[in-house]
Amino acid sequence: MSAEVPPGYDPYAFEPFAVTVDLAVFTVREHVLQALLIERGEEPYAGRWALPGGFVRREESAEEAARRELAEETGLSGPNAARLHLEQLRTYSDPGRDPRMRVVSVAFAALVPDLPEPRGGGDATGACWRPVADCTGLAFDHDRILADAHERVRAKLEYTCLGTAFCPAAFTLGELQQVYETVWGVALDRPNFRRKVLASPGFVERMPNAPRRTGGRGAPAALYRAGSAATLQPPLMRPEGRTP
Amino acid sequence: MSAEVPPGYDPYAFEPFAVTVDLAVFTVREHVLQALLIERGEEPYAGRWALPGGFVRREESAEEAARRELAEETGLSGPNAARLHLEQLRTYSDPGRDPRMRVVSVAFAALVPDLPEPRGGGDATGACWRPVADCTGLAFDHDRILADAHERVRAKLEYTCLGTAFCPAAFTLGELQQVYETVWGVALDRPNFRRKVLASPGFVERMPNAPRRTGGRGAPAALYRAGSAATLQPPLMRPEGRTP
DNA sequence: GCAAAAGTGTTACTTGTACACCCATGT
DNA sequence: ACATGGGTGTACAAGTAACACTTTTGC
């Protein structure tokens, strides 16, 4: 662990890196998977779109930094903050990923329900939701980070209960199914989807209230909330063919 | 991204972190899943066991640093280096995980076949393979890192072709099955295991040579090598009950 | 011969899939 | 009335698990 360190040289006094977090924040809005972008105000990449993020402070972990930045960028706090899924994706450390100096970035993927406002008290010059398909030409290596996060989310819906993270506190099974269809880009059979979800213990729980009648035309649907389970047994497979 | 930076203060001139890599290197030796440990020669935790690792240099990425450290620690090079699976696990960044200063560590999980020698030209005072069940009381937060890596490997065997990474260049289906039984700690039905493996396209390929007769008593087994596929469709499920 | 390991086959059962069908609501 | 979405039932195909059986080696 220390052969490459010259004798008498404190190994902890060299090779300083800057450490940042980058956030790939996803939501489902208007039947489309969207990501949160900010417009950079400074060089490098001034005026370009980028993933939200920022520096890790001395007294906090990367997870805490990610949660703080997310709150600043989206205004997510209080009861909403509890309904948020935040997960470490991986760390990007290529030398040269920032033209100025060595910056190592811990990337996170976040899943949030459809929020009323695109951003809260953020400090970026501009923040907006954008369909992930249109998120190209981002600053730094953020195209790559977003693509990795997208694939991670797609895969995780198969064997975890993460789909509920895209839904509000109370949701119908039809809304949950739309989340899956949107993220995977396929059409699912409604009766079979129902059965699988209800057969997975702890995936969803029925809310002890009355069903709602949305503005939409159709029979009133029962309301559910996210259950306590984290993983899905058996997994909810995503079919390969078939586009919606 | 810059609201917390005082105006006129270069955001890239503050909060220096040290960045290291830590490696959870696994192999299957004598029907037991083992991890590579080194004995620390310096404070803190002098004399304690730890995961191999080291500092990321200025001109390399974390992946390159991990590969370099692994080569130093195990003597893995040349043809063996190609047969190695190295994968980023996650990044550990709790303040206080190193008592001296802020160290952010990018952890990797590595899977290697049963190597002839425990270590090559490593620089640690001591290195050895140890059954993962006995790897407790490690330095820093390495207990946690090893546990996370162990669970990752267990899970990844289900839906990827990673099992072959534990095997030599040529192996029998019986050896591959032992890998799964060892990592999962369960007994598998041999006929069914065969069928699933052979039915997964690109998982294994038959070697165009003669079967071998090992010292073991039994019929000679056909030899296979790792295929080109990375993911497994359908997955190879791990049963829940039953201990071997 | 016997134990151990490779390899093949068969059966019972569980699961997934693709539908058909009815109900409730808004326009 | 009818389109739309919620909810239930069912027949068939596909996959899985469990086990019996044969073959080939070493001792």
Give the domain ranges of chain A.
Answer: 18-156, 160-226
Residue range A110-160, pLDDT digits in tens: 999 987 665 544 455 578 999 999 999 999 999 999 999 999 999 999 999
**Per-residue confidence (pLDDT) for residue A241, from 0 to 100:** 44
Q: Is A173 on the interface with B (CB under 8 A)?
A: no
Q: Is B59 on the interface with A (CB under 8 A)?
A: yes
> Closest CA to D24 C1' — which residue?
B219
Calculate the angstrom distance between C1' of D25 and CA of B235.
Answer: 33
- Asked if residue A1 has pLDDT above 50, the reply is no
- Asked if residue A244 has pLDDT above 80, the reply is no
Which among B1, B57, B91 has the least Cβ separation from residue A106?
A: B91
Residues of chain B neighbouring A4 (CB-CB closer than 8 A): 54-55, 57
Per-residue pLDDT of chain B (244 residues; tens, 9 = 90+): 444 444 444 544 556 899 999 999 999 998 999 999 999 988 889 999 999 999 999 999 999 999 999 988 877 666 667 778 999 999 999 999 999 889 999 999 999 998 766 554 445 557 899 999 999 999 999 999 999 999 999 999 999 999 999 999 999 999 999 999 999 999 999 999 999 999 999 999 999 877 777 777 788 999 999 999 998 888 887 776 444 3
pTM: 0.90
Assign A233 a pLDDT band (cuts: 50, 70, 90). Answer: confident
**Per-residue confidence (pLDDT) for residue A48, from 0 to 100:** 95
Cβ B16 vs Cβ A104: under 8 Å: no
Residue range B225-242, pLDDT digits in tens: 999 999 888 888 777 644
Q: Which residues of B138-176 are buried (b: 16+ CB within 10 A; e: fewer)?
A: bbbbbeebbebbbebbeebbbbbbbbbbbbeeebbbebb
Q: Is A169 on the interface with B (CB under 8 A)?
A: no
C-alpha to C-alpha distance for B103 and A19, rounded to whole angstroms: 10
What CATH class has B160-226? mainly alpha
Which among B52, B53, B88 has the least Cβ separation from residue A90?
A: B88
C-alpha to C-alpha distance for B106 and B86, rounded to whole angstroms: 13
Q: Check if CATH label 3.90.79.10 holds for domain A18-156.
A: yes
Interface test with A, best of B12, B60, B91 (most A CBs within 10 A): B91
* % residues pLDDT > 70 (chain A): 84
* % residues pLDDT > 90 (chain A): 66
Which among A12, A93, A123 has the least Cβ separation from residue B100?
A: A12
- Count Cβ atoms below 10 Å from residue B177 Cβ, excluding itself: 18
Check B57 against A102: CB less than 8 A apart: no
Check A15 against B58: CB less than 8 A apart: yes
Which of A51, A234, A38 has its CA nearest to residue A127?
Answer: A38
> Closest CA to C27 C1' — which residue?
A217
Q: What percent helix, strand, coil does chain B show, rounded to 5?
A: 30, 25, 50
Which among B52, B60, B93 has the least Cβ separation from residue A62?
A: B93
| Mean pLDDT on A16-42 | 93
- Assess whether the region A18-156 and the region A160-226 belong to the same CATH fold: no
Q: Which nucleotides of C are covered by protein (CB under 7 A)?
A: 3-10, 15-20, 23-27
Calculate the angstrom distance between C1' of D16 and CA of A112.
Answer: 37
Residues of chain B neighbouring A3 (CB-CB closer than 8 A): 72, 123
